[in-house]
Amino acid sequence: MTPIMSKSDAADLVVAARVRKGLTWAQIAEELGAPVVWATAALLGQHPMTPEQAGTVCGLLDLDDAVAESLRRQPTRSTDPAVMNDPTIYRFVEALSVYGPALKELIHEEFGDGIMSAINFKVDITRRPDPDGDRVVITFDGKFLDYRW
Query: What integer best gives the mean pLDDT of the chain?
Result: 92
Q: How many CB atoms lie within 10 A of CB 142?
A: 15
Given 29, 51, 72, the domain boundary residue is 72
Let me know if residue 1 belongs to a domain.
Answer: no
CATH number of the domain that 90 lies in? 3.30.1160.10
pLDDT, tens digit (0-9, with 9 covering 90-100), for 6-32? 999 999 999 999 999 999 999 999 999
Q: Please, what is the angle between helix 25-32 and helix 51-61, to 10°?
A: 130
Let me know if residue 138 belongs to a domain.
Answer: yes
pTM > 0.85: yes or no: no
Q: Please, what is the angle between helix 51-61 and helix 7-21, to 10°?
A: 40
Cα–Cα distance between 51 and 73 in angstroms, integer? 10
Let me know if residue 20 belongs to a domain.
Answer: yes
Residue 66 has pLDDT above 80, yes or no: yes
Query: What is the domain count for the chain?
Result: 2
Residues labelled catalytic: 91, 94, 117
Residue 1 has pLDDT above 70, yes or no: no
* Residue 144 pLDDT class (50, 70, 90 cuts): very high
Cα–Cα distance between 134 and 53 in angstroms, integer? 33
**E strand or H helix at 56:** helix 51-61
Q: Looking at the structure, do residues 28 and 85 belong to the same domain, yes or no? A: no
Cα–Cα distance between 148 and 146 in angstroms, integer? 6
**E strand or H helix at 52:** helix 51-61
Domain of residue 50: give its range. Answer: 7-72
